[in-house]
Amino acid sequence: MAAHYPASRYPSPALAWSAALTDRSLACTTLRAAREITTTAPGVPLYGYEFEDPHAPVPTGLPSLPDLPYGAAHGFELAYLFSAVPTEQPLTDAQNTLSDRMIDYWASFARTGDPNTPGAPRWPALRTTGPVLSLAPRPGAIRTGDAYGGHRCAFWDGVPE
């Protein structure tokens, strides 16, 4: 595992370990489940995304961890979709712009079964290994990305459960 997550590539060994745990426990297992769905129910509309705001507002009540920043932790995107989610600080202008785009995508999917909206970057349907839509609050950052490769899922798929 150290070859795939060398501590020298991360600001701290804790963040290297966090990346490995995120990939193994969340990203790759989610993509594996998506692969099963697309294989067994190919007609079901399925879209994947990766929330990528390393400065996302922290939900109110979580402890401050200076040596292990939360970054784009699982569930932090909810504040971008629902204004009632309390956070330690408000969204910035760039985060509000991303929030508006995300709400448009989610509303379109709820309305039509397809998240794509005119004028927005295209969100492709999920296939067996991706791609997914990467969502970040900077110009040009809403784009398709290779979550399977980016999270080293080929490696994790070969590791026994």
Over the chain (161 residues), what is each successive 10-residue block's mean pLDDT?
Answer: 91 91 93 90 89 93 84 92 94 96 97 95 83 91 91 92 77
Q: Any idea what the Cα angle at residue 58 is, between residues 81 and 91, rounded to 5°? A: 50
Give residue 75's pLDDT.
93
Query: What is the β-pairing status of strands 143-145 and 132-135?
Result: antiparallel
pTM as predicted: 0.89
